[in-house]
Structure 1
């Protein structure tokens, strides 16, 4: 098969999130399906990790996502690939691209938390315009996609809840854990510390974590709090709060390269993940893979993905229950770390990119054969 993938989010500056998903998926599929030819639409092909691979071609698509240019220019570039299968790894499929495609939907946060766009836009009218435009595009994408790949059963159920989608249109492919390079111990705090990794978007509930810290910092004066992630406008708000309220021993190291990230995870007393909504929940799995105890909200997706025997859950959005869970771990750190060590091998075996690649290639094969038959098998779907 000749497979085209929108790989614009892949690159040296997008080492996590959808960029990581695309890179690791392609790398694994080249091993699992060496008979296939891949065409990657990349912003800068010269930085692609697959630049000289014999089974990979590149088309330059230096177009920022979520823009008018994306809507106008990407359809022609996708057609230029002359592919049997077109895979868009996010819901930003151009409205003007009317050829068959399959799409990955990582979560439906846009439906669950409709005011998130309003928070990131200054003018209320523009915020609402942005929100309804995105939601309309998402509805159009779901209605046109021949196959929809999702990371968890939770997201599959969400798609079924919000849209008229048949079971055979959805496929759960999971996600995988990447291999970390050797740990870099530079910059790691000395002593005990709680660690968070990820974005500071409102649904991540760092506000709740800082609320908990106002209590924990007093009862554990030898403890530090490290919040790692890009210092964007959202993280800046938490940094301002820490400064204004004079919250002690809170550190913001910014975005960490994988080598430093591994060092932080291996040395942290525990990893805290207060997110209220996820499509998969990779950071706490990464923590477990590095033998780090995890305290997490009991959001449905996290209950599905994380091993219950090794994770200390608290009620989603409940500050006092978060404090209770953290206190439980701190009360017996050796036992908590032993539980994380037992779970480490399990999560590494369960969540592999090889498994994701095999399931995705199976979806491509299904798409390819249905396309040859004119998608007649799906003509009666809702």
Structure 2
């Protein structure tokens, strides 16, 4: 009886990002929900924020929810998280992002999605003044380094990210495990009759599509510059940028307006139903990012049957393999040539659609969660 009790672990998960959205929220929700569904033996303490506490629910009877009244990346979390971890008497923690307390009173695993913060140390990636940004950036670098160095295991979301960690922090290869993210099966698909419906948002076909945020490493400034040149050859072509309006999108809109660029449409936030409709009419999805840790947006486009034009930087060739047409985002001439190629070649677009559907099947959240849980078992 006592031996069985010892085998039961008390596992903490920092799930403050938990939510239905994109990025970290999606990763946290998909992984945590599945682990709690598959494991009814161990005990779990799920740390949640004010935004996520009420929306998190599970049928697993061995789960305790703990409210953390501290925002991620805050000084307060550096004090509060160690206290709560100690109070809950955990065997180990899983931090699903790099923001591990500098003093963590138990063993832990950390997931590193990318090292963009260390590669793009620029105030352009923040709304803070340059001085405050520099202080904040130094703090981030210290936390990332400490979180990786002191972890029992590091989960990387791609082989590219794993190699970046090894190169920057001189970490042993054996300490890092690659678990690819997944693509959701519940992405809204349109019924046949819905495809004839109006798109709205002043969108007219044909158009190239981008869905995601406007952070500097996404290189949307470069994308709109490229598009302004390609429009000379295709005056009816539009570029549709889908993403919730924030500081970075507002800055991009000002950039476009100041240069009198036309046929560039900013939709702001759109519902899943509207997004599915937009995907169904897109000529191609274009992803001009300089740096990614995994690169989920192009896979989601593939899942909707949209041919993908992608940057050839960082992890993208690893994740998309031969299911995308690649260009060098540092070379406008290359990007323009590839856009012309996909515009003119219908057979190529159909080939990329077929390859895209096959590529997406390689990435599942079930597999990601199962591989993550296997790390828990070994700790």
Q: TM-score, normalised by structure 2?
A: 0.90
The aligned runs of 1:151-230 (5 Å cut-off) are 151-179=157-185, 180-183=187-190, 187=200, 189-230=203-244
Distance in 2 separating the partners of 1:118 and 1:315:
22
* Unmatched runs of 5 consecutive residues or more in structure 1: 368-382
Q: CA deviation at 1:318?
A: 1.4
Question: Which segment drifts farther, 317-326 or 92-101?
Answer: 92-101
Asked if structure 1 preserves the Cα contact closer than 8 Å seen for 2:85 and 2:105, the reply is: no
2:10 aligned with 1:2, yes or no? yes
Q: Which of 94, 100, 103 is the matching residue for 1:96?
A: 103
1:374 aligns with: none
1:260: Cα distance to partner?
2.8
TM-superposition CA deviations, 1:237-291 (whole Å, max 9, x none):
1101222222111111113333333322222110000001000000001111111
Query: How many Å apart are 1:343 and its aligned residue?
Result: 2.1
1:25 aligns with 2:25: no
Per-residue deviation, 1:28: 2.3
Q: In the alignment, is the contact (CA less than 8 A) between 1:38 and 1:56 conserved in 2?
A: yes
Corresponding position: 1:307 with 2:358: no
Q: Is contact 2:206-2:238 (8 Å) kept?
A: yes
Deviation at 1:50, TM superposition (A): 2.2
Which residue is equivalent to 1:105? Answer: 112
2:55 is the alignment partner of 1:48: yes
Partner of 2:315: helix, strand, or coil? helix
Q: In structure 1, what is the equivalent of residue 333 of structure 2? A: 320
* Offset at residue 306 of structure 1 (A): 0.3
The residue that corresponds to 2:361 in the other structure is 349
> How much does 1:118 deviate?
5.5
Once the two structures are TM-superposed, the CA of residue 52 in structure 1 deviates from its matched residue by 4.8
Find the aligned partners of 1:250 and 1:33 in 2 and give their Cα distance.
Answer: 48
Superposed CA deviations along residues 40-88 of structure 1, whole A, max 9, x for unmatched, are: 1111455324255434321111321111111111212223333333100
Aligned residues: 362
> Within 2, Cα distance between the matches of 1:250 and 1:62?
41
* Partner in structure 2 of residue 79 of structure 1: 86
| 1:275 counterpart SS class | coil
| Cα gap change, 1:264 to 1:151, in 2 (>3 Å) | same
Note the aligned Cα RMSD (angstroms). Answer: 2.0
Q: Which residue of 1 aligns with 2:4?
A: none
What is the CA–CA distance in structure 1 between the aligned matches of 2:321 and 2:351, rounded to whole Å?
Answer: 10
How far does residue 134 in structure 1 lie from its aligned partner after superposition?
Answer: 1.0
Note if 1:130 corresponds to 2:136: yes
Residues 173-223 of structure 1: CA deviation (Å, up to 9, x unaligned): 110001213448653623211111111111110011111111122221221
Secondary structure of 1:253's counterpart equals strand
Q: Residues 230-379 of structure 1: matches in 2 within 5 Å?
A: 230-308=244-322, 310-333=323-346, 335-367=347-379
User: Where has structure 1 moved over 6 Å in runs of 4 or more?
Assistant: none
